[in-house]
Amino acid sequence: MNGQNSPTHQSAHTPALSVVMSLCDMDQPYTARQLDAAIRSVRAQSFADFEFLVGVDGADLGTARVVMGHALDDRRIRLITIEACADAPAGTYSGLTALNHLHELARAPFIARADATDISAPDRLERQMAILAANPDHTVIGTGCARFAAQDRGLVRRDPANPGAVFPPPANQEDAAPMGDDRIRAALKSGPPMDPATLIYARAAVLAVGGYRTAFGSAAGYDLLLRFSVLTRMAKLPDALVSRAAPRPCAESELVSRASANAVAWLCHREARAGRCDPVGALGRLPTHTELDMLFGRGAGDVVRRRVIEASLHAPRALATQGWDMLQHYAQRHSDDPRMWPLAARMLAAGKPVRAGQLGMTLITA
């Protein structure tokens, strides 16, 4: 990937932390106002010994102007123009590739994520770095993440430096201890227990595991946490130190593809923990559902199908289309699953009478 620095100052001092923000992912839209607020929240951190690397699409002059306006006022900001983002086709998660490039350019031993739609509480970085200093065997620290709607703003505390930012009250005293490595590992089986955009991680660790794998798309953050768990110890601060506007509702089709990628990520993790080769690393893509048993062993396909269906039970249109083959395969082998008949009823109500009837016949004849 090509990349170059903006004409901003770069100090000879090696910072303690590199903050990275990728603005190349078209699947995560943001406004200039959101970006400005996000950058201001990073600049206002009580922990100040950091450089701030912002990767922008070389063709996006509007975004570059917003970043450059801040870079002229703050020597810590480095604008990184990443030309490859401009040519990336839709759906390829070029923002993940850009983040990997920023990891390589980072000069500090630790890296903090920041997203264009997120506001960091003023003490976020200070508190995460304090946990790392007190626990040298930990190299990944996350925080809670608050998602809010406009009508919820009166129920939360505000950041005076960013009047638009909102954060839930601090955790109760009995819940104030960080979520430890054992609890995080136990939670990983069900999904990501930390939002990847809240993380601080060691640069050496993220480079050692190979960074984000773009093949996993929206599940790449979960895949990264799973690979971190094999290499190092992790913790999560209970307080929501990142504030994010409520995202747009997830499309049913996205729900199925994300659940499938999450399940494959778990299978890869299981292989790594057993000391075996990760098949996705060799393929460079996610396997098809017909390849799962061959690559991961007998029963792997059923693991993925079960996790997809469990995540998509209330997405009948998606299971009637994108997830239909998986659903049919699952229903033939698990016709006694009490959730199948209600799912057929939801398909009928969702305007999929033919699929509802086919699922019913499968359940009867299996």
Residues 113, 15 share a domain: yes
Q: Are residues 233 and 293 in the same domain?
A: no
Digit-coded pLDDT (tens) for 212-240: 999 998 899 999 999 999 999 999 999 99
Are 225 and 311 part of one and the same domain? Answer: no
Per-residue confidence band for 156, with pLDDT thresholds at 50, 70 and 90: very low
Query: Do 77 and 214 lie in a common domain?
Result: yes
Query: Which DSSP helix (H) or strand (E) runs through 296?
Result: helix 292-296
pLDDT surpasses 70 at 336: yes
CB atoms within 10 A of CB 185: 15
Number of domains in the chain: 2
Residues 12 and 143 in one domain: yes
Check whether residue 116 and residue 47 sit in a common domain.
yes
Q: Is 82 helix (H, G, I), strand (E, B) or coil?
A: strand
Please write down the HEC assignment for all residues of 93-153: CHHHHHHHHHHHHCCCCEEEECCCCEEECCCHHHHHHHHHHHCCCEEEEEEEEEEECHHHH
Check residues 204 and 258 and name the one with the higher pLDDT.
204
Statement: residue 1 has pLDDT above 90: no
Q: What is the pLDDT confidence band of residue 154, given thresholds at 50, 70 and 90? A: very low
Average pLDDT of the chain?
Answer: 86
Select from 245, 261, 293 the last residue of a domain. 245
Same-domain status, 187 and 286: no
Residues 213, 276, single domain; the answer is: no
CATH of the domain at 240: 3.90.550.10
pLDDT at 152: 42
Q: What is the DSSP letter of 242?
A: E
Residues 25 and 126 in one domain: yes
Q: Which pLDDT tens digit goes with each residue over 8-22?
A: 556 678 999 999 999
Side chain identity, residue 193? P
Domain range for 278 is: 252-365
The reply to whether 145 and 263 lie within a common domain is: no
Whole-prediction pTM value?
0.86
Q: Which of 217, 245, 273 is the last residue of a domain?
A: 245
Residue 282 and residue 233 share a domain? no
Q: Is the pLDDT of residue 60 over 90?
A: no
Q: What is the mean pLDDT of residues 69-81?
A: 93
The answer, yes or no, to whether residue 58 has pLDDT greater than 70, is: no
276 and 137 co-located in one domain? no
- pLDDT, mean of residues 199-222: 95
Residue 212: predicted pLDDT? 95
Among the candidates 219, 245, 271, a domain finishes at 245
> In the predicted model, what is the mean pLDDT of residues 145-162?
53
246 — pLDDT class (breaks 50, 70, 90): low
CA 288, CA 307: separation in Å to the nearest integer? 15
Whole-number percent of the chain with pLDDT over 70 = 82
